[in-house]
Structure 1
């Protein structure tokens, strides 16, 4: 068939007629005339739909997969799959003859073929009389890797034979597909190694064959699947997170910092000496080397061509749709033109957070996976789970804290090598080898992890990592915490609110908005930083930080981050992202807790009123005591009556949303107690951006409702999938006014650090692009 229609505009007549002819062709060659595999960009050959639905997907805005040029899933004959980047040394391997038509290959084997091709990069080789004939130019394969390719080809053909040979005559599953399916069930179901071994042994007994049809144990399964590249390296670590027993320290038995043994299960002999029973390390870091996983992105036909999308196919009209549209990306290209000259060089984001791997909250345990996100991919692939790269798993049971840099050493070392030297990679979409280099653009993390990765303490008087030493905070004597107000600094210098001390914090505002320090300024601050590790009674190490230039000032830098060892890190305009997901959640918690006067969650309590009296603000709200000695708190403008609370909660409880749009928020509403409890992060997202403006309409005065509705619109605006400079300029002018209105309404305790950092979100959107590429939702899912 003529396939030129695939490159035409989806609204053109040629495209519509070509899509219709394709659907008819697929139905003619399909065994099941009622459904065919959908090749649109969203379905990606993973769903079978009715022919008319497939036609709607192809013409209704999704379009055909650009790299699906051989219609092997719709009846087109293909050549046998054989390696692409393999030299003639593999001709003697003599694989099993391939079929002439893809329909003659069982579905399971066809799936295994595709998986093996993506793992090993083996494509576009023909089989002739049962022998491999390689169609790769000699200059495409570097001599230095011929031996490595030969070994890879052997593994490929060994697994290919297992993928083609059914377990017996009455099954569609081969040995490879059966092992992959069973091991996937083990992982998803959480089966122990012992149970899975017993399960395999029982299956082999049922097979009644002379030789075991499947591996007999979990160990044999892992060894069998190791050739798929699913392995990792184990690196022992100090129990106190002081160091890794890695490289030159690999053979040491004790930590060079704290002196603790590397091993556990030590047994004391009668003579007082000690020995170790099984020599098991106390802590083990699982490290998944990065280079081979990045190479695989170019080995797979599904991703190789998309890795150049940010340069070749991105619409460059000034609208922010992708991180490549942001100022940080453009500034990086300007500073490093040699890196930017090849669009195949990979840009990464790093995300890390702790979680409890045991599936229940009764156990206090924190394991930290470190994920990498390739930003070369287009919007419909970027930030999706199949394209995340697991880089390492930092062991628990406690958070590594500021010592996370110890565990990041292998990754940072590899990133330095991938920047300075690169790695030889074969691009299946261009049929050429190139030297792939890699750069880390920024990190994605919640606010506590922000401190661990950046080294700036996100607690105390100077908690804002953007304002840094210019952070304006006030200690609340009775509330026993800091509040962060002073948002009038971002208003125009002639704004009348700057002179209004009475409605805000009791002072006139003459300052200007702080400037975020660049990398050079941060390095100058870190030059005077001295970190000392001291022993504590529990045997752990305590980090003491001293800063020589001002010994009496609070020291907020806790360390010099390991990321500054990357040559380009100090020049990045956006190094660490403020996570909008957690910010939105915390802001919503403050609003709901205060409006509903929920115990232990409200920011307007007796201590807050005492702080107002101490600060000399809003005298009508100061607590007073009657003749009987009972203390009363006068009602504030944001105080709801019981009837208003019920009306507010009924709106939320009675709301019905489309399936998959949000969870059942009504289950969190307790009308009897007049509270909302148990909201998840996404529930707060929906409440803030959609439900709050509706529920508040007739519950509170306009001066309270209006800034909250404007705050809702602000979050909805910055979370849009596309942003323009006009949008950003409008949001940047609106947010200080919104926060100043809230300062006039709510008590100082309302303004936690998470409320304050909202002022910096527009700047990060301008630098990094749309929010959904830089928040924790996809990572935490």
Structure 2
């Protein structure tokens, strides 16, 4: 498709005609039927929208920069490279595994081609996390048997595991199917021989999380020395759910060890996610942008221009001497995941934002790092520090010891450290994260004891008002 119309004014007839042709092409090849990824400058292929919304966004905001191959909207990646058509012998397996690795390790706008990765060109030995990634790249390009162009080893494994989950297969039946397939396929097949080996390959994607049981009253987490405890050492509540109306079923489950936890915290390890930011040459170079690419003219354009950032660098000069050390912001707030607002339920995600990145991408959704998912049905309140323990422990390790990380842009391994600069929340959430009470006559954390307030007798509320000396 001719794409010169994208550069024309959005009010022109050529732009609107080209936009109509693109929408027809995109929705004809849409994987979700009535919705596609919106590729406007604001959405940047992060949100699924309907046709009318996409049309409005592209007409008002225009197309995102750098997205010249519409690989997420039905365009074949080989169409932009005519040499691929002439050289059929170099034909790659088109099974979307490149996109899967792309989404797992990189930003969706980066120019990523797993075929360009060459492990022989490394000047230093990559760490274990990087080796796992290169192994996945190898599996994504490896045929399941000689001559197969429809499936790669990784794509076939992913498809089998999807069928296993949807069909409710047992691990034993999955092992039997793999054994049968290995007998049917011709010599040279590369399939794993068991579910254990298959699951190990998928785990290397690093998309998993840790389940940590919690006290239903938010008193403690069952980890470290309390990992095998059955009762909360603070309030004495049971770790497991009780089913009073089905006592026989409960006893049967306990007999066979199938106990159900009363409350479960989902924790997403931070270290591997930070390491992945340095696995792409484009993203890795962006992690130094705050020091090398930022315009330093005194104007506030990026958090690195703020007094808080500069004061932190001045106090911790050893940390700031390495520009690849990660500065993070922490955001948290409660929401109702069930959409029905009449249901009183509050789940609290804790999200980290890496501020090393350039100002135009550091607050984009693909770079948000989900760290904790605190379950409901009620908000943790002041007990949020109980659920923050795994993250705090990992942040302490990243601050004191760091972790060996391979920087593909420099082709070297360095000791990466990380630090939390500030938190982002609304005023009630600020009370939970900081411990400062945002209620009453001294609610302002900035004014402290000099807060100007007055109790409204008839309204039964505290009125906070400013002073003549506004900072």
> Normalising to structure 2: TM-score of the pair?
0.68
Aligned twin of 1:507: none
Deviations 1:372-406 (A, max 9, x none): 00001112211101111110111111100000000
> Which of 259, 271, 278 is 1:279 aligned to?
259
Distance 1:340 1:457 in 2: 33
> What is aligned with 2:220?
243
Q: Secondary structure of the equivalent of 1:348? A: strand
Q: 2:317 aligns with which of 330, 337, 344?
A: 337
Name the structure 1 match of 2:462: 482
Q: Which residue of 2 aligns with 1:290?
A: 270
Give the superposition deviation at 1:168. 10
Deviation of 1:149 after TM superposition, in Å, equals: 6.3
Decide which of 118, 121, 130 is 1:135's aligned counterpart: 121
**How far off its partner does 1:125 sit?**
5.2
Provide structure 2 residue ranges, at least 5 long, that are not aligned to the other structure.
Answer: 1-39, 47-62, 69-76, 107-111, 186-190
Superposed CA deviations along residues 289-312 of structure 1, whole A, max 9, x for unmatched, are 100100000012341111111110
Distance in 1 separating the partners of 2:224 and 2:168: 38
Kindly indicate whether the alpha-carbon contact (under 8 Å) linking 1:236 and 1:245 is maintained by their aligned counterparts in 2. Answer: yes
Specify which of 207, 217, 238 is matched with residue 230 of structure 1. Answer: 207
Q: Give, in angstroms, the shift of residue 252 of structure 1.
A: 1.3
Residue number among 376, 383, 387 corresponding to 1:396 in the alignment: 376
Q: C-alpha distance in 1, partners of 2:140/2:180?
A: 21
TM-score between the two structures when normalised by the length of structure 1: 0.43
Q: State the SS of the aligned residue for 1:474.
A: strand
Asked if the contact 1:167–1:175 (Cα under 8 Å) also holds between the matched residues in 2, the reply is no
Equivalent residue, structure 1, for 2:166: 196
2:351 is aligned to: 371
Structure 1 portions without partners, runs of 5+: 1-39, 47-59, 66-70, 79-98, 127-132, 187-192, 491-512, 514-762, 764-781
Q: C-alpha separation between the residues in 2 aligned to 1:117 and 1:76?
A: 28
Structure 2 counterpart SS, 1:334: helix
User: CA, structure 1 residues 63+364, in 2 after alignment: closer, same or farther (shift >3 Å)?
Assistant: closer
CA 1:43–1:404 in structure 2 vs 1: closer, same or farther (change >3 Å)?
A: closer
Q: State the distance in 1 between where 2:351 and 2:218 align.
A: 20
Correspondence 1:157 to 2:143: no
Over alpha carbons, which structure has the higher Rg? 1
| Alignment pair present for 1:263 and 2:240 | yes
Please tell me whether the aligned partners of residues 348 and 375 of structure 1 are also in contact (alpha carbons under 8 angstroms): yes
Matches of 2:167 and 2:297 in 1, distance apart? 58
Conserved? CA contact 1:166–1:173, under 8 Å: no
Q: What secondary structure sits across from 2:352 in the alignment?
A: strand
Q: Give the whole-Å Cα distance in 2 for the aligned partners of 1:323 and 1:153.
A: 34
1:62 is displaced (CA, Å) by 5.7
Residue of structure 2 in register with 1:429 after alignment: 409
**Aligned counterparts of 1:175 and 1:107: Cα–Cα separation in 2:** 12
Distance apart, 1:220 and its partner CA: 11
Q: How does 1:346-745 map to 2 (within 5 A)?
A: 346-485=326-465, 487-490=466-469
Task: After TM superposition, give the deviation of residue 410 of structure 1 in Å.
Answer: 0.5
Asked whether the equivalents of residues 97 and 140 of structure 2 are also in contact (C-alpha less than 8 Å), the reply is no
Q: Deviations over 1:420-440 (max 9, x none)?
A: 111000001111111111010
- Matched-pair contact (CA < 8 Å) for 2:282–2:409: no
Residue deviations 1:522-559, cap 9 Å, x none?
xxxxxxxxxxxxxxxxxxxxxxxxxxxxxxxxxxxxxx
Cα deviation digits, residues 612-653 of structure 1 (max 9, x gap): xxxxxxxxxxxxxxxxxxxxxxxxxxxxxxxxxxxxxxxxxx
CA shift in 2, pair 1:443/1:260, >3 Å: same
User: Is the aligned partner of 1:324 residue 2:304?
Assistant: yes
User: Which of 311, 320, 325 in structure 1 is aligned with 2:291?
Assistant: 311
Matched, 1:108 2:95: yes
Secondary structure of residue in 1 paired with 2:404: strand
Contact persistence 2:141–2:152 (CA under 8 A): no
Q: How far apart are residue 158 of structure 1 and its match? A: 3.6
SS at match of 2:312: helix
Aligned partners of 1:325, 1:229: CA distance in 2, in Å?
A: 33
Q: Measure the CA separation in 1 of the matches of 2:44 and 2:79.
A: 11
SS of 1:314 mapped into structure 2: coil
Are the counterparts in 2 of residues 354 and 367 from structure 1 also a CA contact under 8 Å? yes
Query: Is the Cα–Cα contact under 8 Å of residues 266 and 276 in structure 1 kept in the other structure?
Result: no
CA displacement, residues 552-574 of structure 1 (integer Å, 9 cap, x when unaligned): xxxxxxxxxxxxxxxxxxxxxxx
The residue aligned with 1:696 is none
Shift of 1:152: 5.9
Alpha-carbon RMSD across the aligned residues, in angstroms, is 4.7
Q: CA deviation at 1:134?
A: 2.3
**Change in CA separation of 1:195 and 1:383 when aligned onto 2, cut-off 3 Å:** same
Displacement after TM superposition at 1:477 (Å): 1.0
**TM-aligned CA deviation for residue 108 of structure 1:** 3.5
Cα deviation 1:35-65 (Å, max 9, x = unaligned): xxxxx9999999xxxxxxxxxxxxx996899
CA distance in 1 between partners of 2:169 and 2:253 (Å) = 36
Aligned equivalents of 2:79, 2:321: Cα separation in 1: 36
SS at match of 2:359: coil
Q: C-alpha distance in 1, partners of 2:402/2:325?
A: 9
Distance 2:44 2:456 in 1: 56
- 1:433 counterpart SS class: strand
Give SS of 2:204's match.
helix
Measure the CA separation in 1 of the matches of 2:96 and 2:203: 19
Do the aligned residues in 1 keep the contact of 2:141 with 2:153 (CA within 8 Å)?
no
**Pair 1:262–1:274, CA change in 2 (3 A):** farther
**Number of residue pairs the alignment of both structures matches:** 383
1:75 is aligned to 2:81: yes
